[in-house]
Amino acid sequence: MEILEDKILAKNIFQKYTVKPKDWSFVISTTSMNDGFFDATITNPDEVWQLKIDSLYKPMPIITGTKIDIESTKMKRIMEKNTIPFGYRKIDPPMIMNLFKKISEEQENIANRNINQVNKEITSYFGGLEPTVPVKGKDYLCGPFLFTEKNIIEKNSYHKNVSEKLSQDMKKKIKERYPSYG
């Protein structure tokens, strides 16, 4: 098992994304597997990556990850059918500004409306934009990142072992970057 970190991990996954940008998902579990780190899973039609993230609350978190042995179709069944796939979507800045303006103008109405209706409107807008490979100099939205309390990584011995190795690597990286940290 090859554990990749930060920029190398991001570059490796991005290269795979550029080959086939459709049907990706990025799920972050807010419940860790007993180590205090956030677990994340990135899937595409061909593979699954298991990640550990030290924090969701800082701009440059420490991330480690590895490709795992599980069928991506099995992971896909866990996702909701109406979930927008993860990816980069080319946007028209004036169109986005109009969407934000509409949301801010309707803020009071939104507070009184069912939040599911607001989510449907946003999903409808972004769901109509196909994931694409980003090109320098253009504007893109990246996401969605699905946050869940459930940890969608199976709790079998294989995935627990992977999680422990990623956690150990994460702790090592934290000690290297922050020597005075616990």
Q: Are 75 and 19 found together in one domain? A: yes
Q: Are 72 and 123 found together in one domain? A: no
Q: Are 73 and 105 found together in one domain? A: no
In sequence order, the 6+-apart residues with CB closer than 8 A to the CB of 49 are 13, 41, 42, 43, 65, 66, 67, 68
One-letter amino acid for residue 153 of the chain: I
Q: Residue 65 sits in which domain range? A: 4-81+143-177
Is there a domain that residue 96 lies in?
Answer: yes
Which tokens hold the place of 137?
Answer: 């100099």
Give residue 180's pLDDT.
81
Give residue 71's pLDDT.
64
Give residue 168's pLDDT.
92
Residue 30 scores a pLDDT above 70: yes
pLDDT tens digits, 104-130: 776 666 566 566 666 777 777 777 888
Percent of the chain at pLDDT exceeding 70:
84
Which residue would you say has higher pLDDT here, 116 or 147?
147
Q: Are 74 and 156 found together in one domain? A: yes
pTM passes above 0.85: no
Q: Are 62 and 97 found together in one domain? A: no
Q: Are 8 and 74 found together in one domain? A: yes
Q: Are 47 and 96 found together in one domain? A: no
CB atoms within 10 A of CB 42: 24
Is there a domain that residue 8 lies in?
Answer: yes
Q: Exposed, middle or buried, 126 (CB in 10 Å: 0-12/13-18/19+)?
A: middle
Q: Are 76 and 105 found together in one domain? A: no
Is there a domain that residue 138 lies in?
Answer: no
Is there a domain that residue 162 lies in?
Answer: yes
Q: Are 76 and 150 found together in one domain? A: yes
Q: Are 76 and 111 found together in one domain? A: no
How many domains, the chain?
2
